[in-house]
Amino acid sequence: MSDLRLDATQLDRYSRHVIMDEIGPDGQKRLLEGSVLVVGAGGLGSPAIQYLAAAGVGRLGIVDDDVVERSNLQRQIVHGDADVGRSKVESAADYVAALNPDVDVDTYETRLTPDTVGELVEEYDVVLDASDNFPTRYLLNDHCVLTGTALSHGAIYRFEGQVTTFTNDRNEDAGDEAADPPCYRCLFPEAPEPGTVPDCATTGVLGVLPGTVGCIQATEVVKYLLEKGESLEGRLLMYDAMDMSFETVDVLANPACPVCGDEPEIESIEDASYEGSCSLTAD
């Protein structure tokens, strides 16, 4: 732990953290020194950004190449009516600045690509995937597996959401008894064909749904930075807002996984295609 000291204002701001045995001043210092890359400043990214900033995570990177549309405002709560037409990353950064001056925000008004993913991810402790498309999810997964970077995954559809965490902590010295953790490709080996999964613009989405899912993602990231509690690694949490039910299912590592399996076919980002079905590069 560094010699960072909480000043009087910070002790007041984070007092409800500081008085908790599980966090305390040292835990709050850990959050202030932590960094999170949030990919997507939309429905999932908005509540995640909001609560990570409020918790005092000291550095947030926000990646999004889109602008705010009025139809976003039903669920993307870091943007307001006056932000329509603005860059989402600029709007989100202004929201964070007004909420918590302790937080530094780096904005990346760009689409995540194989050429940019490395230089962006390497700057941060953990990645929160709030994207809305399969190519980005597979690209983030593969890079995070290859670099050992923790990744929080969330997704939504109409009234349903899912969350899991991939720590990508593969200890080669742990012995045969220690099971390797799964990755996104273990959970979803192949993306559906383009056009077969409708998006929010086509099917709609309950406005409060991404708030629940994004907050769970933020919770997982905060616990990871604090090194406290049990994560969702190896479990997929599924939420049905219509039934108000939560269910978890086990997610096991796939020995045949092309990126984290016993004989991986993806040993660098160049080994896979991240367009369309996110498949391996054809020989």
Contact 16, 108 (CB under 8 A): no
Query: Which residues pair with residue 280 across a beta bridge?
Result: 272
Cβ-based burial of 80 (10 A; exposed 0-12, middle 13-18, buried ≥19): middle
What does the DSSP 8-state code read for residue 134? Answer: H
Q: Name the residue among 144, 179, 148 with its Cα closest to residue 262.
A: 179
* Distance between CA atoms of residues 245 and 270, nearest Å: 40
Contact 166, 140 (CB under 8 A): no
Q: Angle of helix 209-226 relative to helix 24-32, nearest 10 degrees? A: 110
Which stretches within the chain are classed as H helix? 8-13, 15-18, 24-32, 45-55, 88-99, 117-121, 134-147, 184-187, 200-203, 209-226
CA-CA distances (angstroms) from residue 97 to 38, 108, 243, 247? 16, 16, 37, 36
Computed from CA positions of residues 191, 198, 233, 217, in that sequence, does the dihedral angle turn out positive or negative? positive
Q: What residues are annotated to the active site? A: 200
Residue with tokens 């979803």: 188
Q: Count of CB atoms within 10 A of residue 177's CB? A: 5
